[in-house]
Amino acid sequence: MPAALGGAPVFVQTANNQEKLDQWQQITEAEAEMAYQMTLRNELSGGTPTVRQFEALWRERFGCKFAITVINGTSALHSAMFGLGIGPGDEVIVPSYTWICSISPALMLMARPVFCEIDPETLMIDPEDARRRITDRTKAIVAVHLWGNVCNMDALIELSRETGVPILEDCAHAHGATYKDQPCGSIGQVGTWSLQGSKPVSGGEGGVVATNDVAIFERACLIGQVNRVAGLDLITDKYKHLQPLGLGIKFRAHPLGIGIATIQLEKLDQLNKNRRTYIQSVEDSLVNIPGVRPIGKYDGAQPAGFYGFSIHYEAQDLGGLPKEKFIDALQKEGLAAKSNPYPLLHQLSLFADGFDLFTEDRGPLCTPEMGGDYQGYRTGDFPVTESVVTQLIFLPVFSQPTKDAAAQVVAAIRKVSAYADRL
Ligand SMILES: Cc1ncc(COP(=O)(O)O)c(C=O)c1O
């Protein structure tokens, strides 16, 4: 931590509580220098040169013709959904197992979330289950590359081709991931990233939306780039009559955050390499340990970002020992293991019971009691997701592990597995 920052943590790249095993320094003098120089130049608002340069880098790095920065990943999803033309009465399919912001912007556009199952091996959206939930109101499918793993993009693109439903890739956890050598975020019709403080590329807060589709891009600019767009971001004259104010909504990123993220982007390949080597080494060693096994990956998937590191727990291999007891024992061995941190969305009261979003019985989550036709969800509606997610164990993610960090992690798991019958 640079002394200039007073030694106080400002933001943390995927926090782990085993700092002794990780030597990565998220913030260095380079980020501080960038913020300092930008401040002296008064590069503090709007589409400054640093912001535009970052967007150019993003386009190149992630293989998209168009990219625009926004205040956070949530507003990136909001912009992307608006870009896709999602609006009142529409439905958006998303796995129940993701962070709420993968779908919450749809509510603000008055569209209704439709949850689907995940593939129990990979934890990614199950394309066949998504297919079953498509109706004539479906406007998009959100494919979340959760924890840095990669969705089955061949199946999703085929589904999109057959049905005409676009794919929005939420890459908030997966900066730099690829599928068959194509960058995630550039495979579906539109991609979004978060640059929030714990993300693999961070500006403290920030987000990016990118696409190869000019119509999606222009609408994405229209909704959030007030006073930034005229003659600069828009490609065609379609919305010229609305410039320079667009729709008068402001999702513009803070330039200092984007400056910091510019430095972070330079480190992404190294970060991914370090995390991948560590995770691969742990996963390879799990093969001979009863009770645990790695999360599956699709052919051609190259995970990255690694926002979380989960493994499957198999109680039946350990005499039915409950996962919580296994995790307790790992913790007693000094390993910072934990259970899945994300609630299943269909079990949140908001989506299970419905909600009068806009007051006076209006909005996409109004149940029959509220005058609507939202049916809500119950536990049991997603049996695959419900059972697999409760059996996950999350291990620490190390960004620059000490030489024996992976071995220490594996040793703790091996040891607990060996004495599991005595727990
Ligand atoms: C999967 C996923 N999508 C979207 C977001 C939203 O990003 P932000 O926090 O930058 O708004 C997050 C945040 O963690 C996320 O985990």
CATH code (residue 296): 3.90.1150.10
Ligand 1 mean position to 340 CA, how many Å? 16
Q: Which residue among 240, 266, 292 closes a domain?
A: 266
Both 241 and 108 in one domain: the answer is yes
- DSSP 8-state class, residue 17: S
pLDDT at 1: 47
Average pLDDT over residues 195-209: 96
Both 285 and 259 in one domain: the answer is no
Average pLDDT over residues 322-343: 97
Decide if 10 is inside a domain. no
Ligand 1 mean position to 201 CA, how many Å? 12
Residues with CB under 6 A from ligand 1: 72-74, 98-99, 101-102, 144, 170, 172-173, 194, 196, 207
Decide if pLDDT at 274 tops 50: yes
Q: Which residue among 266, 299, 326 closes a domain?
A: 266
What is the domain-level CATH number for residue 200? 3.40.640.10
Q: Which residue among 242, 266, 290 closes a domain?
A: 266
Contact residues for 298 (Cβ-Cβ < 8 A; gap 6+): 122, 124, 150, 151, 152, 179
Average pLDDT over residues 212-228: 92
Both 230 and 281 in one domain: the answer is no
Nearest atom of ligand 1 to the alpha carbon of 72: 10
Average pLDDT over residues 287-301: 97
Question: Which SS3 state, helix, strand or coil, does residue 311 take?
Answer: strand
pTM of structure: 0.96
* pLDDT band, residue 402 (cuts 50/70/90): very high
Decide if 7 is inside a domain. no
Please state the φ and ψ torsions of residue 312, each to the nearest 5 degrees: -80, 140
HSE on the CB side for 23, CA within 13 Å?
7
**Which residue bears the tokens 């030489």?**
403
**DSSP-derived secondary structure for 185-248:** TSSSSEEEEE-BTTSSS--BS-EEEEES-HHHHHHHHHHHBTTT-TTTT--SSTTGGGTTTTTS
pLDDT at 226: 86
* pLDDT band, residue 243 (cuts 50/70/90): confident
Of 233, 221, 399, 383, which is closest to residue 305 (Cα–Cα)?
Answer: 399
Nearest atom of ligand 1 to the alpha carbon of 307: 16
Decide if 203 is inside a domain. yes
Ligand 1 mean position to 178 CA, how many Å? 19
Ligand 1 mean position to 418 CA, how many Å? 38
Which amino acid, one-letter code, is at 22?
D
Both 221 and 305 in one domain: the answer is no
Decide if 8 is inside a domain. no
Average pLDDT over residues 378-403: 97
Question: How far is the first Cα of the chain from the last one, in angstroms, to the nearest whole number?
Answer: 41
**Paired sense of beta strands 190-194 and 167-170, if any:** parallel
pLDDT at 151: 98
Both 56 and 135 in one domain: the answer is yes
Ligand 1 mean position to 315 CA, how many Å? 31
Going by CA atoms, what residue is nearest to atom 3 of ligand 1? 102
Decide if 414 is inside a domain. yes
Q: Which domain holds residue 403?
A: 268-343+382-422
Average pLDDT over residues 45-49: 92
Nearest atom of ligand 1 to the alpha carbon of 199: 14
Count of domains forming the chain: 2
